[in-house]
Structure 1
Amino acid sequence: MPLDVVDLRAFYASPLGHVARRFIGRAMLRFWPDCSRQRVLGLGFSTPYLSVLGLGAERVLAFMPAAQGVVNWPSEGMSASALVEPTLLPLPTASVDRVVLVHALEETESPDDLLEEVGRVLSPGGRMIVVVPNRRGLWARMDGTPFGHGRPFSRSQLQALMRAAEFSPENWAEALYVPPLKRHLLMRSAPAWERAGAGLSLPFAGVHVIDATKQFYRRVPLRATRRSFAFRPILLPRPTPTQRAANPPGDGAAG
């Protein structure tokens, strides 16, 4: 069952949601410390992170899947959010510079088509941040948070998926080592969990955070070459002595 925008908004308003936003957002800012003069698109439910990444951006859009629902964002000023079909984005080709996918890839029925559409709207040299649940993590095994819904991914699955969509992962991080339990003690000790998990490279992080670049291949068309063959006889028949006597050189027909 697809996530509902009301549940997503309630999660990020909770203490556990604040923990998720803090550590995922920190990983994002390490990859993209400055989005000035960039056109940024968020797809899924990315508004908790667009509020940080979009500072100084030329333009920020928040597209939310039709099956999820949409909320007005930002709370002040003109709305920049819209309800869309994720695999048919209402944007021209090469119209944005950065794309942020949160609560999107694991929820779609066709991850290949989604990444292909993201690649279409990205400009040359465009970059994408993807946040998806880690198949080996605790957050994917417990449905009390949005990261426990949809399809989780392993690192190898994500690499194959991006390679097929012509994206090259440039930076890779994991976040949310703290168990997804709504206990005050765990919330207070979340920074220690993150430091220990990242320092020891533990495999049970809650989410993958990937910074990928759109690849471009210069396709050289194959030219069909035509070859002309002149067939020349290798062995020429030589006349016999009788034939030479009967037809001497310069012998013409009588007039």
Structure 2
Amino acid sequence: MALDVVDLRAFYASPLGHVARRFIGRAMLRLWPDCGRQRLLGLGFATPYLSVLGAGAERVLAFMPAAQGVVNWPSEGLSASALVEPTLLPLPTASIDRVVLVHALEETESPDDLLEEVARVLSPGGRVLVVAPNRRGLWARMDATPFGYGRPFSRSQLEALMRGATLAPENWAEALYVPPLRGRLFMRSAPAWERLGSSLSLPFAGVHVIDATKQFYQRAPLRATRRSFAFRPVLLPQATPTPTPRIAPRIAPRAGGPPETGSPG
């Protein structure tokens, strides 16, 4: 079941949502400290982070999936949000410099098609920042937050998906080591949880944050390469058979006369 945009907006307005935005935003800024003069696209529900990453950007767009719904963004000025089909983005090829995926990859029915479409709209050398729930994290096991819905991923699964879409992962980060509980004690101790988890590289972070670059070349699919060397039977032409000469039937000789051959006239 896809998340509704109203529920997502309500989560980020809550204290726990503020914690998630704070620590995920920090991880994003460590990977992308500057997006100046870049064309930036947020896909999914990325608006809580676009205001942090989009400072100084040439253009910022917020695309939200049709199954999720759309809200007006930003709240002031002209709207930069739109309702789209994630695997059929209304953008020309190689028209975007950077893409941010939040609450998108785990919600789509076909992660492969989504990443291929992202790679299509990215310019050569463009970069994508993916935020996805960690399969081993507590946030993916509890449905009290949006990260508990959809499909969580391991690091190896995300790497395989990206490489299949000609996206090369370069930098990795984790965030949300604090348990997804709404008690005041956990809210106050959230910075300590983050420092402890990141310093010890603990495996139960809530989300993966991956920075990948679009490759300049298109790799040949492995299946096509195998098919090109597959054994195929070769049909050689056969020699034309020589027709057998027709032998005239013998006719019994008449009484008192020589034997006759051939057919009667």
* Fold conserved between structures, TM > 0.5: yes
Distance 2:218 2:114 in 1: 23
**d(CA) in 1 for partners of 2:219, 2:103:** 34
Alignment of 1:10-21 (within 5 A): 10-21=10-21
- Give, in whole Å, the separation in 2 of the partners of 1:16 and 1:23: 11
1:22 aligns with 2:50: no
Inter-partner Cα distance in structure 2 for 1:12 and 1:53: 17
Distance between the aligned counterparts of 1:115 and 1:38, measured in 2? 20
- Quote the offset at 1:217 in angstroms: 2.0
Say whether 1:74 aligns with 2:84.
no
Counterpart in 2 of 1:86? 86
In structure 1, what is the Cα distance between the partners aligned to 2:178 and 2:131?
17
The correspondence of residues 120-139 of structure 1 with structure 2, limited to 5 A, is 120-139=120-139
- What corresponds to 1:251 in structure 2? none
Look up the match of 1:119: 119
Distance 2:57 2:217 in 1: 28
Corresponding residue for 1:229? none
2-side partners of 1:92 and 1:148: how far apart? Answer: 33
Cα distance change on mapping 1:120 and 1:52 into 2, 3 Å: same
Q: Which residue of 2 is the match for residue 171 of structure 1?
A: 171
* Counterpart AA for 2:135: R
Partner of 1:39: 39
User: Tell me, what secondary structure is at the counterpart of 1:100?
Assistant: strand
Which structure 2 residues correspond to residues 231-250 of structure 1 after superposition, within 5 A?
none
- Give me the whole-angstrom Cα distance separating, in 2, the residues matched to 1:101 and 1:61: 12
Distance 1:218 1:68, change over 3 A: closer
What is the alpha-carbon distance in structure 2 between the residues aligned to residue 215 and residue 56 of structure 1? 25
The answer to whether residue 182 in structure 2 is matched with residue 182 in structure 1 is yes
State the Cα distance separating 1:218 from its structure 2 match. 6.8
Q: Does 1:154 align with 2:154?
A: yes
After superposition, the CA RMSD in angstroms is 1.0
Following TM superposition, by how much is the alpha carbon of 1:219 offset from its aligned partner in structure 2, in angstroms? 7.3
TM-score by length of 2: 0.82
Q: Distance in 2 between matches of 1:95 and 1:164?
A: 21
Deviations 1:201-220 (A, max 9, x none): 00000000000001122779
* 3-state SS of 1:212 partner: strand
Unaligned runs of 5+ in 1: 221-255
Instruction: Report what 1:59 is aligned to.
Output: 59
The separation in 2 between residues aligned to 1:219 and 1:48, in whole angstroms, is: 35
Structure 2: state its 5+ residue gaps. 221-265
Distance 1:219 1:150, change over 3 A: closer
What count of residue pairs does the alignment treat as equivalent?
Answer: 220
Task: In structure 1, give the amino acid aligned to 2:172.
Answer: W
Deviates more, 1:27-36 or 1:209-218: 209-218
Does 1:212 pair with 2:212?
Answer: yes
Amino acid at match of 1:37: R
For the residues of structure 2 that align with 1:59 and 1:108, how far apart are their CA atoms? 25
2-structure distance, mates of 1:36, 1:194:
28
- Letter in structure 2 aligned against 1:59: R
Going from structure 1 to structure 2, the CA distance change for 1:112 and 1:218 (only over 3 Å counts) comes to closer
Structure 2 equivalent of residue 242 of structure 1: none
Distance 2:129 2:49 in 1: 11
Change (3 A) 1:88 1:178: same
CA distance in 2, matches of 1:125, 1:181: 40
CA distance in 1 between counterparts of 2:168 and 2:139 reads 26
Deviates more, 1:42-51 or 1:155-164: 155-164
| SS across alignment from 2:117 | helix
Q: Could you tell me the TM-score, scaled by structure 1's length?
A: 0.85
Does the 8 A contact of 2:94 with 2:124 survive in 1? yes
Q: Which protein is bigger by CA-based radius of gyration?
A: 2
1:6, 1:216 → 2: CA distance? 39
Deviations 1:39-64 (CA, angstroms, capped at 9, x unpaired): 00000000000011000100000000
- Which SS does the other structure have where 2:51 is aligned? helix
